[in-house]
Amino acid sequence: MTRERIREIFNSLIGTWQLERTATPEGTFKGKSIFTPVGENRLSYREEGESWVAGQHARFYREYVYELHDDKIVIYYNDPHRPKDILHELAFREDDGSLRAEHCHVCAQDCYDIEFRVGQDRLDVNYRVKGPKKDYTLHSVLTREPQ
């Protein structure tokens, strides 16, 4: 994929998105995701909202940094204890009318497989987490809020 096309994907993320997430075996999350430019090739990402997991209600938030590279988008933890630690590297390809990237992040004995799909005003982010004590999936749908 060309450098220009990767930049288009990166720039298309900027803005506010409605977030709906389901977790299997049990859980739902609703809230907002915001991609904010913090430099020419960096976006701050924050999601926040409410979760219902195993009958328990809670507020949640997460933050990451997305950085544009020549041939991919790299997601970093936004944690002062893990500066520049990479969570995922997204190298996109065309797939059935959308753009798709996959990556596996290994953390100790756990594997966090991600599928990131960019469509028209919609992002689908699927996680499969497997490890000795972990086995769950997360399916997130982000839809762009009207401007």
- 12's CB contacts (< 8 A; 6+ apart) are 118
pLDDT tens digits along 75-102: 999 988 887 899 999 999 988 878 999 9
Q: What is the pTM of this model?
A: 0.93
Number of structural domains (the chain) is: 1
Q: Helices (DSSP H) in 2-140: which residue ranges?
A: 3-12
Given a contact cutoff of 8 angstroms between Cβ atoms, the answer to whether 124 and 144 are in contact is no
- For residue 117, list its beta bridge partners: 100, 124
pLDDT tens digits along 26-72: 999 999 999 999 988 999 999 999 999 989 999 999 999 999 998 99
Residue 97 burial (10 A CB sphere; 0-12, 13-18, 19+): exposed
CATH number for the domain spanning 46: value is 2.40.128.20
The domain of 61 spans 3-144
